[in-house]
Structure 1
Amino acid sequence: MRCPVVSVVLLISCLDAGGHATAGKAHAAEPARPNIVYILADDMGIGDVGAFNPDGKIATPAMNRLAAEGMRFNDAHSGSAVCSPTRYGILTGRYSWRTRLQSGVTWGYSLPLIDSGRMTVASMLKSQGYNTACVGKWHLGLEWGLKDPAKKPSDDPKEPWDNIDFAKPITSGPLQVGFDTFFGISASLDMHPYVYIEDDHLTDIPTKEVAASGGKKFWRKGPVGDDFQHIGVLDRLTDRAVDYIETQSADKPFFLYFPLPAPHTPIIPTEAFQNKSGLNEWGDFVMQVDSVVGSVMQAIEKQGLTENTLIIVTSDNGVTPKADFAELKAKGHNPSSVYRGNKADAFEGGHRVAFIARWPAVIAAGTASDATICHTDLLATAAEATGVKLPAEAAVDSVSMLPLMKDADTPTVREATVHHSVNGSFAIRKGKWKLMFCPGSGGWSAPRPPAARKQKLPPLQLFDLATDIGETKNVAESHPEVVQQLSQLMAQYIERGRSTPGAPQENEVEIQLMK
């Protein structure tokens, strides 16, 4: 099988839906190279942000302001319906199903998912003279120091930590894929080890274990550092991100990748946000995430970088069921808005995300685009914005969003977009048509894969999203020509090792289309 100075701030979180492409072209003059700050919210539903869900019940003033001052993308998608694969796609411009990770996510001791030598957004920008930093949740594997180097850790969630030598430096991580500096955590906040990593070492060596926690405050039992408290992590990361921005200037461009650990479990808003939403802890935590976006915006403004700063706000996938859908529904809030499903699913609710971009020098305020985009598009966008010609083996699934940012009326620039669920089920979207190569959700909403197989549901599902955005009617039998066309295109994307024009590339493993 085949494999392969302007300020731009990219903030990724979740926003409300509503509205259609609004005419409006930005400034004609080409700006200088942008700074890029990318903020990625974790598990936030598209319906959790007011700008994307007029019926939502959570106050998100910072993200709403960002949308009013920039562009809202109404058809944005994560590269996967779960955490690690999406992060891989953001940084590499390549779908993660081309790697060893065919389903699920990496864990706290997993080996690096990004191969050495593969171009990332960070490495490309660093080669162009950018300062580069990552603050937050990494979740793409690390090369930990080992007591016995012959015993390599696996992607098993039950991987023990007794062979990890926490006193040794990390030899492969963010610094090896283009970041000058890193401060953050190894994986999700509910995954051990519960320690802060500064560049290639821990800020405190764990000598004790923390007991497991349940419910909305879920985390697993594991080693913890003395300077680590779960409830304080989001604030500490925000302080570090703001501090970094405040050391930057217009003299040299910078890239800050800021993947948040929230509102993913453990759902633990700080005291300042508890009971503020009037819904539950989830609503409170989303409000805290919104305040983080506001803090970053304020830091950019303080540095005088607003005009030539691109801010993008989105989420890594759909909303987690831990938000307690029944509790939220009882108070009139749907974190998935009008879309079916949630985190982990091949249905829209698993991967359709809020996505806002503000860049006053380029993007007209108060605009919206209905063009389909994907998180994998960051690398091609950054390359075009900085005048870099990408090599054939890089960004194989990345299409520049810059034409859309310059003119909201620009039609979709992607030929098609591939979706991937937690169990490895595929879907492909082209125009109004979406073909799912699985019965059921492929994830956590009903019907889950075992139930779908037991019910002998059709192995292929075709939806016309123009008339059925809620994915309620499978029309595969009445449109066999569409099924054939999309099946052939999906097979081509797999075989060629890329979904964009260019020389064929290699996938790292053999890809199985039907699970």
Structure 2
Amino acid sequence: MDRLTKLGGAVAVFIGLITGIGFISKPEQAQRPNILYILADDLGYGDVSVYNPGGQISTPAIDKLAAEGMRFTDAHSPSSVCTPTRYALLTGRYPWRSRLPVGVLRGYSRTLIERDRPTVASLLKQNGYRTAVIGKWHLGLDWVLKRGNEQLLATENYGIKTEMDTALIDFSKNPAQGPATAGFDYSYILPASLDMPPYCYLENQKLTQQPTAYTKGNKLESGYTGPFWREGKMAPSFDFYDVLPTFIQKANAFLKQQKADKPFFLYLPLAAPHTPWVPKKEYTGKSKAGEYGDFVQQVDAAVGEVLRTLESSGLADNTVVMFASDNGPYWRENFVKQFNHKAAGGFRGMKGDAFEGGHRIPLIVRWPGKVKAGSVSNATTTLANLMATCKDILGSPNGIYTPEDSYSILPVLLGETEQVANQPAVVHSSSIGFYAIRKGDWKLIEGLGSGGFTEPKELKPQVGDPIGQLYNLATDPAESQNLYVQNPEKVNELTRLLTAIKQSKTRLTRDH
């Protein structure tokens, strides 16, 4: 054999080895996981049976998800009402940093997320994900004004703190901002809560049907419970009872379209079990907690349906599934007594409150092969941590996706740490603007009263009385003993830290 033949053979072997190595190593490279984020609306910590086995509601699908993943016992919504939490979830910024520091948007409100604001969706889209939102948006839409009214747009925060005048909106034109400008490739949404007009759907920011019909409202005397909704414009074919099934149908259709060669992010913010409590007939009487409990059980079945679609599509093994609620339940004390069901678990208060019942929520994460099945984490975390967690999963170095208030929970999910690294504290805001800060076992509430829907909402301190509330949640999870006067050093410490976080323009660390 001559030298040329030998050399050619050696080259062929060398090329074969390189090709073989490349062929072998390719499937070993970390494949970017799909992300499915299911956000229930007003679902309480105690409404999920794995969190509250003694409750009057059964949630087998959500319980099964917990058995297959990690269940958090100390997770919190950044706010105890809808819009602010959704802003924080998608931007990684506490909601009081937005143009609406207190309160919620309505159906005719303009977009709260600024056009150039980085979001979880834009982060994932930049990294090759197909991004979609299906469900309750409640972050505003830039409805187009009729000709001659454009000067209103120059008004600072127009359509944010008060709604746009519906008589001035041109519904024949697509809203100028919304999910698409927040990073979503596809959207099928309800503008706001299911009890707020306009009652209609928009697909890719285009109305599926013009809101030419009108409803006088329903159960307006019920105190925001039962099948309650406000009067206002609606699409002629809109059916309140079909909203949850419609979102699940759209979510299933999206999942069936996905292929393994391109990852997806599906944000699925359900409009339930928020009012109106409208369970379908097949769920009526299924729980022992009235219309609300029946509606929760329908939500659970809906979650199960989506997860089965994910499984049958062959995508489940490479999908991170996250399930959470946007705040605590609207469940008054009379309902606790009537049904013997504690929707907020053993915690004080309800939706809107600075108390734990307003913002401590169920959070479950399943990631096959990464997150230990049946694990339970006591790490204190908040839904604002989604951005940093996704960035960590991707290994993205892009600095614009490092917002002020987001810290990765990936090490917790992987069992590497027990607490969220570097997170200096967790901050909550109530429906009327009370701030609460949590560090370790201690929680400080700036103000007296619930700060939300539980009476009394706000109390004026008397001479010699404390001006705020301090609780040790390790010994007093029900927040029954105010230790504000007895622990001035802890009050000062948490007050200083809260001030530092509120004033910061970048992320603080645990040892800031």
* Match status 1:286 vs 2:296: yes
* Match status 1:434 vs 2:433: no
Aligned partner of residue 167 in structure 2, secondary structure: coil
Q: Where do 1:391-430 residues align within 5 Å? A: 391=399, 394-407=402-415, 410-413=418-421, 414-430=423-439
**1:358-392 C-alpha deviation (Å, 9 max, x unpaired):** 11121010100001010000010011111112415
* 1:221 counterpart residue number: 231
Partner amino acid for 2:469? Q
Structure 1 residue corresponding to 2:460, chosen from 450, 453, 472: 453
Task: With a CA cutoff of 8 Å and minimum separation of 6, indicate the structure with the bigger relative contact order.
Answer: 1
**1:125-164 C-alpha deviation (Å, 9 max, x unpaired):** 0001100000000000111111122335534566541111
* 1:123 counterpart residue number: 122
Q: Where do 1:293-442 residues align within 5 Å? A: 293-321=303-331, 325-391=333-399, 394-407=402-415, 410-413=418-421, 414-442=423-451
Moved more, 437-446 or 157-166: 157-166
* 2:196 counterpart residue number: 191
Offset of residue 35 of structure 1? 0.6
**1:98-149 C-alpha deviation (Å, 9 max, x unpaired):** 1121211011111111111111010010001100000000000111111122
Aligned partner of residue 314 in structure 2, secondary structure: coil
**1:283-340 C-alpha deviation (Å, 9 max, x unpaired):** 000001101110111011011122221111110000013xx54244333211011100
Q: Where do 1:22-61 residues align within 5 Å? A: 31-61=30-60
* Residues 109 and 155 in structure 1, CA contact (< 8 A), matched pair in contact too: no
CA distance in 2, matches of 1:101, 1:249: 39
Change (3 A) 1:265 1:355: same
* Residues 98 and 497 in structure 1, CA contact (< 8 A), matched pair in contact too: no
Moved more, 401-410 or 48-57: 401-410
**1:330-357 C-alpha deviation (Å, 9 max, x unpaired):** 3321101110000000110000000011
Offset of residue 52 of structure 1? 0.8
Moved more, 30-39 or 220-229: 30-39
RMSD across aligned positions (CA): 1.8
* 2:246 counterpart residue number: 236
Aligned partner of residue 151 in structure 1, secondary structure: helix
Offset of residue 200 of structure 1? 1.9
CA distance in 1, matches of 2:162, 2:245: 27
Runs of 4+ in 1 over 6 A off after TM superposition: none
**1:177-203 C-alpha deviation (Å, 9 max, x unpaired):** 110011011000111111110112101
* 2:78 counterpart residue number: 79
* Match status 1:274 vs 2:284: yes
* Residues 388 and 401 in structure 2, CA contact (< 8 A), matched pair in contact too: no
Bigger radius of gyration among the two: 2
Aligned partner of residue 218 in structure 1, secondary structure: coil
CA distance in 2, matches of 1:249, 1:136: 22
Q: Where do 1:5-154 residues align within 5 Å? A: 31-147=30-146, 148-152=149-153, 154=159
Partner amino acid for 1:94? R
The number of equivalent residue pairs is: 471
Aligned partner of residue 354 in structure 1, secondary structure: strand
Offset of residue 395 of structure 1? 2.2
* Match status 1:164 vs 2:169: yes
Change (3 A) 1:499 1:138: same
Change (3 A) 1:404 1:93: same
Q: Which has the larger helix fraction?
A: 2
CA distance in 1, matches of 2:333, 2:30: 44
Q: Where do 1:471-486 residues align within 5 Å? A: 471-486=479-494
CA distance in 1, matches of 2:228, 2:501: 38
Offset of residue 458 of structure 1? 2.8
* Residues 392 and 408 in structure 2, CA contact (< 8 A), matched pair in contact too: yes
**1:233-288 C-alpha deviation (Å, 9 max, x unpaired):** 11111100111011112111000000000000111111111111132000000001
CA distance in 1, matches of 2:70, 2:388: 19
CA distance in 1, matches of 2:217, 2:462: 36
Aligned partner of residue 167 in structure 1, secondary structure: coil
* Residues 109 and 163 in structure 2, CA contact (< 8 A), matched pair in contact too: no
CA distance in 1, matches of 2:279, 2:333: 18
* Residues 122 and 177 in structure 1, CA contact (< 8 A), matched pair in contact too: yes
TM-score of the two chains, using structure 2 as the length reference: 0.89
* Match status 1:254 vs 2:259: no
Offset of residue 70 of structure 1? 0.6
CA distance in 2, matches of 1:315, 1:158: 26
CA distance in 1, matches of 2:276, 2:126: 37
CA distance in 1, matches of 2:164, 2:175: 18
Structure 2 residue corresponding to 1:489, chosen from 488, 497, 507: 497
Offset of residue 38 of structure 1? 0.7
* Match status 1:212 vs 2:217: yes
Aligned partner of residue 330 in structure 1, secondary structure: helix
Partner amino acid for 1:97? W
Offset of residue 415 of structure 1? 1.9
* Residues 103 and 423 in structure 1, CA contact (< 8 A), matched pair in contact too: yes
CA distance in 2, matches of 1:299, 1:356: 19
CA distance in 1, matches of 2:416, 2:258: 30
CA distance in 2, matches of 1:454, 1:205: 51
Q: Where do 1:164-183 residues align within 5 Å? A: 164-183=169-188
CA distance in 2, matches of 1:235, 1:408: 39
CA distance in 1, matches of 2:51, 2:462: 35
**1:433-477 C-alpha deviation (Å, 9 max, x unpaired):** 10111111111113211xx12777632111011100000111111
* 1:23 counterpart residue number: none
CA distance in 1, matches of 2:164, 2:124: 35
Partner amino acid for 1:439? L
